[in-house]
Structure 1
């Protein structure tokens, strides 16, 4: 037998990695400062990002934005008693506490679901597969912010959409990561 890991151990490790995540509210512009200081304290952090394109002064600008702006997921091990130090970490406003003074744990499965939606190129993928006829919004590229309808799905990494331009429908190819369902 090779030195690989046991599949049941791997599943247990995945389940364990999904446990004990909390949500920290960030101070304005505090993402880099918070992640750096939390890492110094030994906390694991996670924030999913999405590529977008915005039109400013008549020009297209590619940008990356957080899926949950102003918030950062922080993993706190159950035996870690220093979770209170997160509230005084530079860049962090506070841990989200829905009831009382103890932080509220993120429901199990959320982090693993989010991580599963990050592609090999780091792009955030849609929640489900697209289907012909679905209404979508283009979030990145030259057609950013346009509303379209899916026309064809020839390959996994490209989608043909129908855009309304100048009074008629125009067919364009778009990468799935640049679309979001309506």
Structure 2
């Protein structure tokens, strides 16, 4: 629901659907199906992941402005349909759109997601589309803080955060060894275990 406010008008809150149905489409054709939705005035949503890759070589770009923007669906082959926007006539119209395979079913029942599950999916989409430097700020990691490694060869080790940079790389002093050793890892490989004063 898009609204323009005139002076003195109150903003009406958009109603939150009670649940969402899943529409199967051919992978890679989600954008085409959404264009048909716009043409027919239908409601639907699919989450996107935006990444930046090097123009030559294809690896992740260090800086977004130096790379090529790649937009791809987070959940390929699915479009989410609000429950309140669905009736027999609209369902028939959706099924007549090219590249639509039908409603996703589990046995004889149509699959659906609750509003809470959709909120989590939107949070995942927002997190993945947030630059790494801002992800770290959201997690509020700070120098001297104790962290636990959750991924890689040092999983389950505990250490103190020594350094963090703008590329999402951390230097951690692991206390598991006799003297301690500094290792470099990605910010996604650690989790906070509580703040401690710097010694």
Q: What band does the TM-score fall into relative to the shorter chain?
A: 0.5 to 0.7
Would you say 1:135 and 2:150 are equivalent positions?
yes
Residues 104-140 of structure 1: CA deviation (Å, up to 9, x unaligned): 32223111222244449944998x9588223248xxx
- 2:99 equivalent among 77, 83, 91: 91
CA deviation after TM superposition for structure 1 residue 87, in Å: 1.9
Q: How does 1:142-181 map to 2 (within 5 A)?
A: 152=161, 159-161=168-170, 170-171=183-184, 179=188
Structure with higher Rg: it is: 2
Count of residues paired in the alignment: 154
TM-score, structure 2 length as denominator? 0.52
How much is the aligned-residue C-alpha RMSD, in angstroms?
4.7
CA deviation after TM superposition for structure 1 residue 154, in Å: 8.0
Matched position secondary structure for 1:94: strand
Matched position secondary structure for 1:77: helix
Tell me the distance in 1 between the aligned counterparts of 2:60 and 2:25.
Answer: 25
Query: Hey, which of these two has a bigger chunk of helix by percent?
Result: 2
Native 8 Å contact 1:151 1:160 kept in 2: no
Tell me the distance in 2 between the aligned counterparts of 1:43 and 1:180.
Answer: 41
Relative to structure 1, is the Cα distance of residues 40 and 169 closer, same or farther in structure 2, using a 3 angstrom cutoff? farther
Q: Which residue of 2 aligns with 1:67?
A: 74
Relative to structure 1, is the Cα distance of residues 60 and 121 closer, same or farther in structure 2, using a 3 angstrom cutoff? closer
Native 8 Å contact 1:22 1:76 kept in 2: yes
Which blocks of at least 5 consecutive residues in structure 1 are unaligned? 138-146
Q: How does 1:41-80 map to 2 (within 5 A)?
A: 41-52=40-51, 59-61=58-60, 63-77=70-84, 80=87
- 2:120 equivalent among 105, 113, 119: 113
Matched position secondary structure for 1:45: coil
TM-score, structure 1 length as denominator? 0.56
Native 8 Å contact 1:54 1:61 kept in 2: yes
Tell me the distance in 2 between the aligned counterparts of 1:51 and 1:92.
Answer: 24
Matched position secondary structure for 2:80: strand
